[in-house]
């Protein structure tokens, strides 16, 4: 009989799906790496499991321990699923800009959730970086994951996501496009793909209010680039160690409005009910159109599921209030 021994064995081997209507203006084939097929409905299941297994192997995570992490929701979900199967407790720290659905979802799988203000400096003791670090120091028998700087994050995508994309495209991929947050996905997939073919182009999707694009182009960490933004899960006001800027060929920035509008369009035009960062990714891909030719095979990775944004990007009252639709 063919079955998984537990839910963690269903992580990975997600499908590639052709995008048809939203990419009609492009000359190339565009394929979505559709990560919502993971059991926690996001790409983060992959690195959550790898980070836990690596921490178990070297003794950072001990039996009956508590997993502590700052998350925008999806990493928390992946960690929580693995914790349930393996017998750990979880405490997650989230910024108050994240959707209510994400907070409720983490509590539904047994995690304790602490919510912190978004509009503070990363070094502020109230920030979600600071609070998660402090809880990691104060909680007995705990392990602070730190997905931003944890090399197992990138390793997970180097070992699974990258090889899957290469195999699924039979090595024909020419461009990989993905939203950048912690940097694990773009750096792990990008490293693997460039090792197979150095000509593959790796493009990052950034958001206004984030430092990535300017830092990549100038080497300057410009604090004037930093301001609050609505788009969830991509962009940063820090430079995570997992972002390997040498592997990335370029960034394009997408506005909050465009990300929200294109999140709705993916659902309405393609039947793809996806999260906010998918809207940013498809709009960013369209902004890069002059880089593509008719022979290209472009893979865009879609991180997470639309159910996490029903109160926001899929709520027309919210969209009107934000000025994103008439």
The pair of structure tokens assigned to 6 is 């537990």
**Residue of 300, 321, 302 whose CA lies nearest to 312:** 321
Q: Are the beta carbons of 120 and 96 closer than 8 angstroms? A: no
Q: List the catalytic residues.
A: 44
Q: Are the beta carbons of 35 and 42 closer than 8 angstroms? A: yes
**Residue of 154, 129, 150 whose CA lies nearest to 244:** 154
Q: Is the dihedral of CA 190, 304, 5, 79 positive or negative?
A: positive
The three-class DSSP label of residue 93 is strand
The three-class DSSP label of residue 127 is coil
The pair of structure tokens assigned to 73 is 């929701």
Q: Are the beta carbons of 152 and 51 closer than 8 angstroms? A: yes
Answer left, alpha or beta for residue 73, where phi above 0 means left and psi between -120 and 50 means alpha. Answer: left
For residue 271, what is the DSSP state?
-
User: What DSSP string describes 202-261?
Assistant: EEEEEETT-SHHHHHHHS---GGG-------SS--SS--TT--TTT--EEEEE-HHHHHH
User: What DSSP string describes 3-54?
Assistant: --SSGGGG-S-PPEEE--STTTT-SSEEEEEEGGGSTTSBTHHHHHHHHHHH
Task: Name the phi and psi angles at 112, rounded to 5.
Answer: -90, 135
């Amino acid at each position: 009989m063919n079955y998984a021994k537990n839910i963690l064995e269903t992580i990975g081997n997600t499908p590639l799906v052709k995008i048809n209507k939203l990419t009609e203006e492009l000359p190339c084939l565009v394929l979505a790496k559709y990560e919502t097929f993971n059991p926690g409905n996001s790409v983060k299941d992959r690195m959550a499991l790898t980070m836990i297994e690596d921490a178990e192997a070297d003794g950072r995570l001990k039996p009956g321990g508590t997993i502590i992490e700052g998350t925008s929701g999806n990493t928390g979900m992946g960690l929580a699923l693995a914790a349930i199967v393996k017998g750990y407790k979880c405490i997650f720290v989230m910024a108050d800009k994240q959707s209510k659905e994400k907070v409720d979802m983490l509590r539904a799988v047994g995690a304790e959730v602490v919510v912190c203000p978004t509009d503070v400096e990363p070094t502020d003791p109230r920030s979600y970086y600071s609070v998660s670090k402090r809880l990691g120091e104060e909680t007995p028998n705990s392990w602070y994951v730190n997905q931003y700087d944890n090399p197992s994050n990138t390793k997970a995508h180097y070992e699974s996501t990258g090889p899957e994309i290469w195999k699924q495209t039979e090595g024909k991929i020419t461009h990989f496009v993905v939203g950048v947050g912690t940097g694990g996905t773009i750096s792990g997939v990008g490293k693997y793909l460039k090792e197979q073919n150095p000509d593959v182009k790796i493009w990052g999707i950034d958001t206004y209010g984030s430092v990535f694009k300017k830092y990549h182009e100038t080497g300057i960490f410009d604090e004037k680039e930093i301001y609050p933004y609505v788009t969830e899960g991509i962009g940063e006001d820090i430079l995570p160690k997992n972002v390997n800027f040498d592997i990335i060929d370029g960034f394009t920035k997408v506005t909050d409005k465009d990300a929200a509008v294109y999140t709705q369009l993916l659902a309405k035009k393609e039947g793809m009910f996806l999260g906010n960062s998918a809207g940013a990714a498809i709009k960013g891909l369209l902004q890069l159109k002059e880089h593509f030719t008719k022979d290209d095979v472009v893979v865009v990775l879609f991180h997470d599921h639309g159910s996490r944004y029903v109160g926001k990007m899929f709520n027309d009252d919210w969209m009107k209030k934000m000025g994103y639709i008439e």
